[in-house]
Chain A
């Protein structure tokens, strides 16, 4: 029987079990036939009898094959496990023998894997992992949809735009809806008074998110109506901290002077929105009593769960229809809500932090790439040293596949070591990573080194291990053992390996330059930001904040008197130069309020209904914060409730309303304090006179251009929340102590919070950008270091390899300078190629960074000159070290060596 040729080759891969069985059975039948023939039977008879005696060949064949296949599979498994164990033992021994080498590789990988894993933990928490709510993909934020507000506590003003009631009445689109707002309240009662974070939530909040209290219950519909019972649900954290985890249901908790009954405790980890300590019902419509938790307005968000079968697109178009019915003059005040009324909850919480996170992940990925290239180079260098050992093993019968596997196992062991160390790095940097997280998400979905991150690190280990190990392993196994052993195992690396190593170094220099340029741009942005004039001076200024509890019949007298007394006390203290109060401290974070204003005698559409920041300042505030006066006068003690109504405006506001004119003496249509809603009721008979113009203040953050700002006298309608600001020559700690003392002396029971220097306020507002900058710069620096080490390694290795050649050159009359030039030329060529490629990468990277830059163009000339220059110089410096060694060679010694 002719055997098809391909079957013969199949045997190299695995034994051909079926064929073996066939052959074995055929042999038996033929032997039996031969026996019968020998006895004198005719061939046909012999064959028939032989088969008869044998029984069914097909049955025997099947039974034999089943046994053989089972046996083969078991043997294969055993072999693999056995060989792997051998490889592991051998690998570990080899790595132990080369401790320095192993340590260098593990440290390099730990940096790359650690950085990547740390950033991944943030990316995972913010962007990849679903929120810890039921079916979080169906949760959406309805933008511009708020809780209706009822200032008098009875009926809500008819709203001109969709509000919570509108969307709650659309069960075919949204199965559940709820509004929530993060705020703060003063908690007293058991233990010391303290400020707690409060989630003010409508009664459907927990149900909409699909989170059930761990103990007790959520809120009933009754409790969500005006005048309903005062109840609170605690977070697991507050329950543990404040009550030590003992049963609390039915107990009372005092918030801003009102007693609330504790009806439930949420499960551990649930703190949404922000870092809530407890939740109380937000009434619909909202009133002043639920309003207490906020500074001067209620930044409520509406969250909804899409009804089954309703897509986000369908819901969006339904909401758009609603917005189209809103009269045009109101639509403008809602920003882009009418255009994009709906966004996924997670996306909304992540906000503009998404891009920096991805950029950082790409950055660390590039860093890891450089680390891998360096390790590949180290392995290639070592492979040439180990050629003799490998050749010996090949001669002793190790197959090529076996050798490749052995070398790969070593690489994987190194990668696992690097990954383990990298996990430690990632764990240690969790604190830094938290700063990268979107503020609205960090508490709800904290970054952690969990199973997912662990899996990621293991994946990286496998990927990098194969990545940096495969090429050297294949190369090493390809060498001809006979030649290697004959030649004594030294030198003679093929030119190909050298070329590969140089190409790798060029690639890593290019990547390093990319990151270096990115670092440069980020640093220049940060510098530009620090050089930005915030409009006030932070040095020698201390501040604290307090929130007055709202008494039922309070018309502001208590607040007015308290502010007055605290400021008077402060001003009387030695070392205090100025003290003042403001409703919204600049750069404190969190929202402020902007309201529409109309100026007397102005009718142009551009200027009419301008939005301006609504601020309430006391006398002394501008002096305390060092906000320069440009024209007119500042707020004075005489600007009281009963004096003629005055206003101080910012430079931008003055320029927009009265370009080229003197604003002092001009009048604004007087508005009631803007609180209570988006729209302000104007009293058309009252005007407010501009008394002065001050410099613009960067209010929300340093990066945004200041909005028009206007300051009303704080005493007209004292706000619920006040920041007290004092400038003094005292040391910061003493200054802050005096601020506390002043409040305590006037109102001992009043809790204060955010007691800090203005420098600290500024520092905190810069934290996200600082973190980005520090990380990108650190990664850029590491990339630079690793790539320079890589260049050094390649050049040093090539010098070692060319020792003999260089010695001969020296003997033939080459001077030391000639030799240095010869070696340095190699480094320079590599550096130039790397820089050329890297400039392209840097250009692409700067495009991606563009939105993170401040005050610098992506094509910043200084960066694009300095970064390549720095890289080039460092590479040349790294080259000179081995070049010098080459120059110092004694030709006689070198040539005698063989």
Chain B
């Protein structure tokens, strides 16, 4: 297992939105999904996951409701709102553009001056 990568600013929100886009999920489930989906390559501090969830709820991107978990315990479930879905789409698109641009730069074949000639 390689050394975990620190999370880029704003990435956590995007990952959370994606995590709950499959359906209602509690905080632990969100943490687990991120773990699995990234192959545990991204090390998120789980403590910071919850303030992020609450902030997203405040912004209206997700909604929370108390319900029963798979092992029959009271847990707080988060659901993506329609506004959250729009936000997810927009952020995912801009993330893709960013990633592509950075990748393109990293994999550029030659010195820019040479490319001109």
Contact = CB atoms under 8 A, between A and B. Distances in A.
A, B: real partners: yes
Interface in B30-82: 31, 45-48, 50-51, 53-55, 57-58, 66, 69, 71, 73-76
B54 A27 contact: no
B58 A64 contact: no
Contact of B50 (A25, A70, A71): A25
A31 B28 contact: yes
Contacts of B31: 28
- The main secondary structure of chain B at its interface with chain A is helix
Interface string B68-105: 01010111100000000000000000000000000000
Interface in A12-70: 20-21, 23-25, 27-28, 30-32, 34, 53-57, 59-60, 63-64, 67-68, 70
B18 interface: no
Contact of B58 (A30, A53, A67): A67
Nearest to A27: B75
Contacts of B57: 67, 71
Nearest to A59: B47
Nearest to B43: A53
B49 to A, nearest CB: 8
B47 A55 contact: yes
A23 B73 CA distance: 11
Nearest to A71: B58
A60 B55 CA distance: 12
Given A24-B27, A27-B73, A63 B51 contact: yes
Band of interface residues on A: 20 to 34
A295 B16 CA distance: 96
B74 to A, nearest CB: 7
A478 B54 CA distance: 39
A24 B30 CA distance: 13
A20 B51 contact: no
A20 B74 CA distance: 10
B28 A28 contact: yes
B50 A60 contact: yes
Contacts of B46: 28, 32, 53-55
B73 A24 contact: no
Contacts of A64: 50-51, 53-54
A59 to B, nearest CB: 6
A20 B66 CA distance: 9
Contacts of B27: 24, 27-28
Most buried by B among A25, A27, A56: A27
Contacts of B53: 64
A27 B51 contact: no
Band of interface residues on B: 20 to 34
A55 B46 CA distance: 7
Contacts of A27: 26-28, 69, 73-76
Contacts of A57: 47
Most buried by A among B27, B53, B54: B54
A64 B47 CA distance: 10
B34 to A, nearest CB: 13
A794 to B, nearest CB: 53
B116 to A, nearest CB: 50
Given A55-B45, A67-B58, A20 B76 contact: yes
Nearest to B70: A31
A552 B61 CA distance: 97
Contacts of A67: 51, 54-55, 57-58
Nearest to A60: B47
Given A24-B27, A71-B57, A55 B73 contact: no
A56 B47 CA distance: 7
Contact of A24 (B47, B55, B58, B75): B75
A54 B44 CA distance: 9
Contacts of B28: 27-28, 31-32
Nearest to B56: A67
A62 to B, nearest CB: 9
Contacts of B66: 20
Interface in A184-222: none
Most buried by A among B46, B48, B53: B46
A70 B58 contact: yes
Contacts of A68: 54, 58
Contacts of A55: 45-48
Contacts of A53: 46
Contacts of B50: 21, 24-25, 28, 60, 63-64
Most buried by B among A31, A53, A70: A31
Contacts of B47: 54-57, 59-60
Contact of A60 (B48, B58, B73): B48
A558 to B, nearest CB: 94
Nearest to B60: A71
A526 B41 CA distance: 101
Nearest to B30: A28
Most buried by A among B26, B55, B66: B55
Contacts of A59: 47
Nearest to A56: B47
A726 to B, nearest CB: 91
B50 to A, nearest CB: 5
A53 B57 CA distance: 24
B61 to A, nearest CB: 13
A24 B46 CA distance: 13
Interface in A299-354: none
A48 to B, nearest CB: 14
Interface in A644-703: none
A217 to B, nearest CB: 66
Nearest to B46: A54
Nearest to A53: B46
Interface string A423-434: 000000000000
A27 B64 CA distance: 15
Contacts of A28: 26-28, 31, 46, 50
Nearest to A63: B51
A63 B45 CA distance: 14
Contacts of A31: 28, 69
A22 to B, nearest CB: 11
A342 B28 CA distance: 83
Nearest to A20: B76
15 contacts: A20-B76, A24-B27, A24-B75, A24-B76, A27-B27, A27-B28, A27-B74, A56-B47, A59-B47, A60-B50, A60-B51, A64-B51, A67-B58, A68-B54, A71-B57
Given A24-B75, A64-B53, A67-B55, 11 more contacts: A20-B76, A27-B27, A28-B46, A28-B50, A34-B71, A60-B47, A63-B51, A63-B54, A64-B50, A67-B58, A71-B58
Per CB-CB distance, the 4 closest pairs between chain A and chain B, nearest first, are: A55-B47, A63-B51, A60-B47, A67-B54
